[in-house]
Amino acid sequence: MKFKLLLLAFPVMASLLLAQESAFKLNVNVDLTEVHVSVTDEKDHPVGNLKKENFRLFEDRTEQKITVFKYEDIPVSIGLVVDNSRSIEPRKQRLDAAALSFVRKGNAEDETFVVHFDDEPRVSQEFTDSIPVLEDTLARMKPYGQTAIYDALILALDQMGKAKYTKRVILLITDGVDNSSKHTLSEAIEAAKRSRVAIYTVGLLSVSGGQKAEDSLVRLAEVTGGHAYFPNDVDEARMIMERVAKDLREQYTLGYFPTNASRNGAWRSIRVDVAPPQGRRPVPRLNANYRHGYYAPTDSN
């Protein structure tokens, strides 16, 4: 009789335990949010060896507890988005060499894909950690046509869905203004905001590119926590790319579980304050560069 009662009671007990476990899962916020931060001084030199206590992080003006703090060289998923329009031809070989130099200066475990664009974009190389493969991919492309920057960027952001690392960067290299995309700048910016990918742009712009081209590259970079550069020549472009690769290896990673646990897909702003170490004289003014917001996840994520 006791055995039968135990058998009858077991499904009830199991249901209660499952209900408790389910309720526990619903009330736990598992959406760890990471922010990658570059810190520089007044001379734009990277500042290393700061501690967690030097940082304060706010989401929608509410201070968050930093639960993950890293200052280490972690691998990156990289997208090279390279202009292949006719106008790039005189500088193509040297720009290809500069892009390869950027990859070589990175972490040995980095993975990189390549998107080329002219009249339209194409993924010319899937993710790889092989420098010779990337070198061959860049060399075999023959410039022609016009410049579909926005289409290329949206394609590259979609390709980032295959990345294996949480730290993700796009390096966009172009010499002109978009004149061939089906998508608009606004659509590219919105895609970038949703991606959590930092975009760095290198614009070797001619006079014909004008302020419009420069403004679009600045907007694409700044909204993602990246940076826009406008070198005067290919040699300067190479130095800039190598500097970006070095800076990426010296970023701080701040992770937190948002106090706002709503999964409503709304935009959330982020602010990071950086204080110099105590006792340093004179007190340096530190600048922080990072993504200034993200879209909250939804129940479908």
> At residue 181, what are phi and psi to the nearest 5 degrees?
-75, 150
Q: What pLDDT does 22 receive?
A: 38
What is the C-alpha separation between 33 and 145, in angstroms, rounded? 41
**Cβ count within 10 A of residue 43:** 6
List the one residue out of 249, 255, 269 whose CA is nearest residue 52: 255
**Chain-centroid distance, C-alpha 299:** 23
Quick check: 171 and 78 in contact, CB under 8 A?
yes
CA separation for the pair 272, 37 (Å, rounded): 8
Q: Find the largest Cα–Cα distance for the chain.
A: 93
Q: What is the pLDDT along the chain (301 residues), one digit of tens a residue?
A: 544 444 444 454 444 444 444 333 333 446 899 999 999 998 888 898 899 999 999 999 999 999 999 999 999 999 999 999 999 999 999 999 999 999 999 999 999 999 999 999 999 999 999 999 999 999 999 999 999 999 999 999 999 999 999 999 999 999 988 999 999 999 999 999 999 999 999 999 865 567 888 999 999 999 999 999 999 999 999 999 999 999 999 999 999 999 999 999 999 999 999 998 876 666 678 999 999 999 999 887 6
Is the peptide bond between 282 and the residue preceding it cis, with omega within 30 degrees of 0? yes
Q: Rounded to an integer, what distance in angstroms lies between the CA atom of residue 100 and that of residue 242?
A: 10
Locate 118 and state its tokens: 């002219």
Q: Is 6 helix (H, G, I), strand (E, B) or coil?
A: helix
φ, ψ dihedrals at 288, nearest 5°: -115, 135
Looking at residue 24, its pLDDT comes to 35
Return the pLDDT at 7: 44
Show the domains of the chain with their CATH numbers: 33-71+252-295 (no CATH), 77-248 (3.40.50.410)
- The reported pLDDT for the residue numbered 68 is 96
Q: What is the rounded CA–CA span in Å between residue 176 and residue 203?
A: 7
**Nearest 5°: phi and psi at 13?**
-60, -40
pLDDT at 80: 98
Phi, psi of 161 (to 5 degrees): -60, -15
